[in-house]
Amino acid sequence: MDIRVMNRAVTISSSVIYSVNIILSVALYSVLSYVGLPVTNIVERQVLISVPLMSALFNALILAMITMSLKYAEYYGIFKSGLAIAIYSGYIAAFSPPTYLVLFMGSIMALCVIQILLLYYYAKLQKLMFG
């Protein structure tokens, strides 16, 4: 298979995965805004609730960087996905949310793992293409 075709396939699959992650992150923000978190300080609670929305914003930026084949986009994406896994694991450990929120966060973390794998493969393809 040609390297350009593989690059196109990885870019398209990354676009789909990132788009689904953006949708789920915004939905999680909506649910957390409605349900809330058991934090008494209102500023801390609002910051914690807005994390999925910021995650969706960063996913959109990284998706744009990958689509434009910008340098080091894959490393930003890998870092962001790893950070999202750590943050959502912290949410689950600290707040013991209901099952539906755990499933929501678990699906986002699974998508982040897929993103890391795709971006690792994308980085290898970029290195083959451009040296």
* For the chain, percent of residues with pLDDT exceeding 70: 99
Cα R_g (the chain), whole angstroms = 16
Cα–Cα distances (Å) from 27 to 20, 55, 82, 105, 110, in that order, read 11, 12, 20, 11, 16
Express each pLDDT in 38-70 by its tens digit. Answer: 888 888 888 889 999 999 999 999 999 988 888
The whole-number pLDDT of residue 4 equals 84
**Residue 90 phi/psi, 5° resolution?**
-65, -40
Fold held by 3-130: Four Helix Bundle (Hemerythrin (Met), subunit A) (1.20.120)
- pTM for the model: 0.90
